[in-house]
Structure 1
Amino acid sequence: MTPLKTLFAARGRELPAPHVTGSALAETAGLHVRLGQREVLAGIDLAAHAGEVLALVGPNGAGKSTLLAALAADLPAAAGTVRIAGRPVADWSPAELALRRAVLPQAATLSFPFPVAEVVRMGRAPWAGTALEDEDDAAVAAAMDATEVGPFAARPYAALSGGERARVALARVLAQRAPLLLLDEPTAALDLRHQELVLRICRERAAAGDAVVVVLHDLGLAAAYAHRVAVLHDGRIAADGPPAAVLEEELLSQVYRQPVEVLAHPRTGAPLVVPKRLI
């Protein structure tokens, strides 16, 4: 057993119970988070439901990544509550949390030249010693296939391009098979094809009953793939709802401090947000 698996192999863990589509797999109430002396989140009420993709959007510094980290129980609340699977995050052990939520940070670094396949397999570490450990090989293979990283499975992770690393990191998260996926800018380093691929994967996971919370800067991707969009502004939620209701010109122009116009996609009708330019 690898050292990473040994860390998670404690017996007696409570395995995730089946969840009902529409149930809240992560939620906050009156959430405040401070980083140093600065209040980054100020009274956030939000829920991520099984069966949906929830996109967090907003300008730089609005608090999107901080909110995602708080939902993951990686940042403590200064006030308010965070619940995962209906229980306060403090009630779960780290090993139990790892069975319930998988986190993709903005950047991941590895100190050793692990091959790609081994990096993806790290996502299975929380299941060591459980009844589902036998699913490791199938989970790794499915995750690598979904993210199209199989052709370079034997290559060292450090030898990959930025976009390839991003897809391998996502494959690790998918292999974890947690019912709550928390993804921080998963499309930032990707080309057009793979941006679409990642968001299709998000929709597929939601269709399978997972809750997916994804931080995005591309409002077009959010409009096309998210069931709900939460717009953050100065540490608060300025709007939360279906993309067509939330992505409207006056709100976005104010939040982003950039005049925009919102058009309708000619085929799907989804909102298309376009900056108003002088040229």
Structure 2
Amino acid sequence: MSAVDVSLRRGEREILHGVDFAVRTGEIVALVGPNGAGKSTLLAAMSGDHPISGGRVEIDGRPLDRWSPIALARRRAVLPQQHSVGFPFTARQVVRMGRAAWARTPRQDDDDRIVAEALTTCDVEHLAERPFPSLSGGERARVALARVLAQDTETLLLDEPTAAMDLGHQEEIMQVVRARADDGHAVVVVLHDLGLAAAYADRICVLEQGHLVADGAPDDVLGEELLGRVYRYPVTIGRHPETDTALVLPRRPSRASSPSAQP
């Protein structure tokens, strides 16, 4: 899946400026950058949820607008930021919605198995009969991801899948995403946690004011000068003591030197 010279406007404002981007099977690409940088907009452009004003988005070399909705649903699954359902469907019913693209095909015979596996994988099997609106934000996020996994597509487009989750579930979900890529899926994921991006992504793409300003392996992209400029705040790059992946830490004054610490 690729974006070629993609621009996108909302009214008079141009949100994306000539972005070139691609993801390959077996790969996780993390989109990072400050609020308003264009991460979610790029993901929405690639999913077809936002019309672009210039360039093109392609799947298997064919422009996105030449795919029928059902064919597109069988090629890519999308996890949006917001997880809302207008009716009190159970968690199991929400996950089963991911199988709609395969109705009236031989693959519908796998529906029960795939739904059950997705519930287990995302640690929501115990919530299966609960109404979706009654779940906490983190529980909804895990059910929504289970729906995306149940759709069983080659490409996954995930917008902040760990945003509402506690520490343990953040790690577990990123391990699930990593396993999907290792099984041959292509994954694009919007993340705010640069440590998670460094630990699990094959490539990191940094967006700044709608421009793609860096694209490469985590250790090549996560530099103090670039991140300090993009996020407009100084950072220090450390290393994880067990995995040696990058840890991005904001520079902070020592507590001893802070005004509240003075006698």
User: 3-state SS of the aligned residue for 2:86?
Assistant: coil
Counterparts of 1:105-254 in structure 2, within 5 Å, are 105-254=80-229
**Which letter does structure 1 place at the counterpart of 2:179?**
E
RMSD of aligned alpha carbons: 0.7
- Which residue does 2:45 correspond to in 1? 70
1:100 to 72, 75, 100: 75
C-alpha separation between the residues in 2 aligned to 1:204 and 1:85?
23
C-alpha separation between the residues in 1 aligned to 2:172 and 2:9?
35
Listed one character per residue, the Cα deviations across residues 122-148 of structure 1 (whole Å, up to 9, x for unaligned) are 000000011211111111011001001
TM-score of the two chains, using structure 2 as the length reference: 0.95
C-alpha separation between the residues in 2 aligned to 1:266 and 1:117?
39
Listed one character per residue, the Cα deviations across residues 22-44 of structure 1 (whole Å, up to 9, x for unaligned) are xxxx1011100111111000010
2:36 to 43, 61, 70: 61
Matched, 1:271 2:251: no
User: 3-state SS of the aligned residue for 2:158?
Assistant: strand
**Which letter does structure 2 place at the counterpart of 1:131?**
P
C-alpha separation between the residues in 1 aligned to 2:245 and 2:127?
36
C-alpha separation between the residues in 2 aligned to 1:130 and 1:90?
23
Deviation at 1:151, TM superposition (A): 0.6
- Which residue does 1:46 correspond to in 2? 21
Aligned residue-pair number: 254
C-alpha separation between the residues in 2 aligned to 1:212 and 1:30?
20
TM-score of the two chains, using structure 1 as the length reference: 0.90
User: 3-state SS of the aligned residue for 1:183?
Assistant: strand
Structure 2 residues without counterparts, runs of 5 or longer: 255-263
Identity within the alignment, %: 57
- Which residue does 2:11 correspond to in 1? 36
**Which letter does structure 2 place at the counterpart of 1:139?**
I
1:259 to 228, 231, 234: 234
C-alpha separation between the residues in 1 aligned to 2:238 and 2:187?
26
User: 3-state SS of the aligned residue for 1:186?
Assistant: coil
Farther off after superposition, 263-272 or 172-181: 263-272
Deviation at 1:86, TM superposition (A): 2.0
Listed one character per residue, the Cα deviations across residues 157-191 of structure 1 (whole Å, up to 9, x for unaligned) are 11111110000000000000011000000100000
Listed one character per residue, the Cα deviations across residues 44-96 of structure 1 (whole Å, up to 9, x for unaligned) are 00001100110000000000000000110111110101001221001101111
C-alpha separation between the residues in 2 aligned to 1:115 and 1:94?
25
**Which letter does structure 2 place at the counterpart of 1:217?**
H
Structure 1 residues without counterparts, runs of 5 or longer: 1-25
